[in-house]
Structure 1
Amino acid sequence: MSNDELNKLLTMAAEDVRPSHPAIAAWNRARRVRRNRRAAAATALAVVLLVGGTALALRPADPPVPAAPATAGPVVPSAPPVQRPPAELTYPGDPLGRLGDPVAAKLSDRPVRQALALYQPVDPNTGVEGRIRVLGDDGLVRDLDVVTPARTRDAAGNEAVPLKTGSLSPDGRQAAFAQTDEVIVVDLTTAQVRRHPLRGYLEHALWIGDRLFVGDDDTTYELDRTTGTARTVPLSPWDLVTLEPDARADALLAVGGTSGRLTLTRWTQRNGVSELGTQPVDVRALPRGNQVDEFYGRGWQRGDKVARAGWITTGSAGGLEGVALLNAGTGLVTRLLDLGRDRWKGCCEVLGWKSDGTVLVRHDPGGLIRWRPETGEVTGVVRGVYGEVSLAAG
């Protein structure tokens, strides 16, 4: 074979041979791909950082991380706005359960450190009342032997027993009894008695903190027990609400009115200027057909809530005994306790609040119950206590 033929043959064979150094060529190709990918990734990262950084700068700061994980509390059931007691009450025990115990001492012999309650028995068959008793925080029942208040009476001659729901001071150390043309104040820790003359057929005595208010149908007085002087207050003693002990001293509240026109009235005094404001009691938070028809008894406030007994309508039934819970600022009724009918008229007067947020209510015939509006729980406190009761705050 000639040289020309050999060169021609080699040239034709080399046309199908791949380039030399295939690993180097592949590496170069891969390097170009990685470089392109890194450039694209860097561009995307720059966009993300730019957008994320802007959003981070604009959004509010995150709340601080708690030092320890929160522990879930007990789940409180949502109570309905209209509540009813169970058919059978339970009696889990309460210091007030000794309210009906027999008298064990005289107040003059054994004054109290603090009274939990005052109790004046009334015979349910004859209506004749007994002597006023004092239940001390030691569980002992004493006879209020240092004074015998007379029945209260109005200008028409209507009479009532002298003990009222507001007679015992919130701290359980003083008792006050309205009388015609005077008010009697007893220091239960010393058994000392003071009489303060005030004009009128006085029927109500009630404490708001350490302030004493006394009144009749026409006039409400605030008595200065140190000087014996009194000033008048433009609120009815029937509707004046007993505030919690640490409530503001420059504001008084009254809840009352007639059927269909119930009102919440606030009287304030600041820098020597008095202001009287009235707003309607609002039942729109209750289901349709439920309302308060008329209030009775003493109203009691704790925090932003006022509890007061009244005659109520629930659904299609009217003339029921019940208790209303309303907001002290807005007058909005948020809860009703339906106690039914066929009870003594005015059976179910509110007697105050306990420190655990329960409302204490008379439950005639002869009982005292606790109502927890936030859960609807109703339990018994004491049975067989006929007559008038006044409780210390808490």
Structure 2
Amino acid sequence: MREEELRRLLTVAAEDVRPSHPAGTAWERARRVRHTRRAVGAAALAVALAGGGTVFALRPPVGPPPIVADPSVTDLTPTHAPPVQRPPATLAFRADPLARLTDPATAPLSREPVRRALALYQPVDAEYRADGPVRVLGDDGVVRSLDVVDLEPTRDAGGNEAPALKPGVLSPDGRTAAFAQTGELVLVDLTTAGVRRVPLDGYLELVVWAGDRVLVGGDDRTYAVDRSSGAAARIDVSAWDVSAPDPAAGRGAALVELSGMRDGLTLRSRSAGDGALRTEQRVGQGDLPASYRVNEFYGRGWLRGDRVARAAWITSREIDGAEGVAVLDARTGAVAHLLDLGRDRTKGCCEVLGWGDGGTVLLRLAPDAGLARWDPETGEITGVLRELQGLVSLAAG
């Protein structure tokens, strides 16, 4: 090997490894550089020995070798996104099975039940009233109309109305839909198109699945209804504050509530059986910068493992009252990740709709997208559906 060729190889081997984004790319490049360095070292030693430089090659150095900072030592460590993240200026949209969510129905559920539903959707008019039947998006990509039951708006004691379809209605396995109605819970088996009605007292508004039970309630009461038998019992949890449990956790998993405002934000864990209080702690700001804080939560919370995701109004570096989405540690109450959605959005724009594959959070993201995926660990946000003029419930626990 000629001297100039050896010099070029040594230069390549000594270059810095500065990964620009994926940690996997950095690890792969480092592997190639280490391989090159080994090859160059072997070649250099061979040239030295072959050229009569054996004594020079084996002679110990006069002093210790200089210490050269190698940025690959720290830069190659896999990195996570910072605690506070923001969506990109331009959202990329990827192919996704949920992108067909708002397609017109092509068959009635009574004639073509689903094997598994991915989502339920219902359009609304300008007054936020149901504008057509609920649609069922099956895992076969076909959209069906829910024609086996006529749903009435939910009502509270003050006479306020809202459409019956809300986040949390569809079971995580996509096989059953549960609708709160005044004086009853309506269960629809989407795989057979069968309907069961469970009589219950009072005004009922909200539904959330908890294993093989349905929690349904309103302002002053919550029931736990067994999916198979229809047996119902009162349970001491708030239908407004309880987070949808992790489907993988089983029936005995604790229930988690998030409630309060500002310094009074509280995370409670309750027993799954009767809702008895287990632990109570204040929501902490974790590693958020000093200028950030969560003021109040809204919409449904969703538990996955030891993480709870929920939409919130936040204080950011620019404004008190920005829109955001928080991911909290359910064990400590600390905010682990915060998605800062800024001030130029409608109030309550960005409700969380559940957890998706790979630890992503599915949320509404008006006006950027009707439906989007956010990965809190990497900070990546991608669009699923450009517009979503209606109500939706996903099979996403």
1:377 has 2:380 as partner:
yes
**2:189 corresponds to which letter in structure 1?**
D
What is the aligned length?
A: 319
Equivalent positions of 1:1-394 (< 5 A) are 76-123=78-125, 125-130=126-131, 131-250=133-252, 251-268=254-271, 274-365=276-367, 367-393=370-396
Stretches of 4+ aligned residues off by more than 6 angstroms: none
- 8 Å CA contact 2:236–2:275 kept in 1: the answer is no
- Structure 1 pair 136–103 and aligned structure 2 pair: CA distance change class (3 A): same
| CA distance 1:112–1:273, shift in 2 (3 Å) | closer
SS in 1 for 2:238: coil
Q: Given that residues 152 and 161 in structure 1 are in contact (C-alpha distance below 8 angstroms), is that contact kept between their aligned partners in structure 2?
A: yes
CA contact 1:153–1:160 (8 Å) conserved in 2: yes
Q: When the two structures are superposed, what TM-score results if normalisation uses the length of structure 2? A: 0.77
- 1:112-149 per-residue CA deviation (whole Å, 9 max, x = no partner) reads 000000011113x3433221110000001110011121
Report the Cα distance in structure 1 between the residues aligned to 2:184 and 2:202, rounded to whole angstroms.
Answer: 8
Over the aligned positions, Cα root-mean-square deviation in angstroms equals: 1.8
Cα distance in 1 between the residues matched to 2:121 and 2:150: 13
Structure with the larger RCO, 1 or 2 (CA within 8 Å, 6+ apart): 1
The share of aligned pairs that are identical, in percent, is 58
Q: Which of the pair is proportionally richer in strand?
A: 1
What is the CA distance between 1:269 and its match in structure 2?
A: 5.7
Say which is worse superposed, 226-235 or 168-177, in terms of deviation: 226-235
Alpha-carbon separation, structure 1, partners of 2:342 and 2:78: 26
Counterpart secondary structure, 1:86: coil
Per-residue CA shift, 1:254-298, capped at 9, x if unaligned?
11223321111111268x994432111111421102111000000
Kindly indicate whether the alpha-carbon contact (under 8 Å) linking 2:129 and 2:163 is maintained by their aligned counterparts in 1.
Answer: no
Q: Is the 8 A contact 1:244 1:393 kept in 2?
A: no
Distance 2:272 2:303 in 1: 19
Question: Does structure 1 retain, via aligned residues, the 8 Å contact 2:262–2:296?
Answer: yes
Rate the CA distance shift 1:153–1:269 in 2: closer, same or farther, 3 A.
closer
CA contact (8 A) 1:134 1:144 kept: yes
Distance 1:223 1:340 in 2: 39
- TM-score, reference length from structure 1: 0.78
Q: Quick one: distance in 2 between partners of 1:334 and 1:299?
A: 15
SS at match of 2:350: coil
Letter in 2 for 1:258: M
Runs (5+) with no aligned partner, structure 1 = 1-73
Consecutive unaligned residues of structure 2, counting only runs of 5 or more, are 1-75
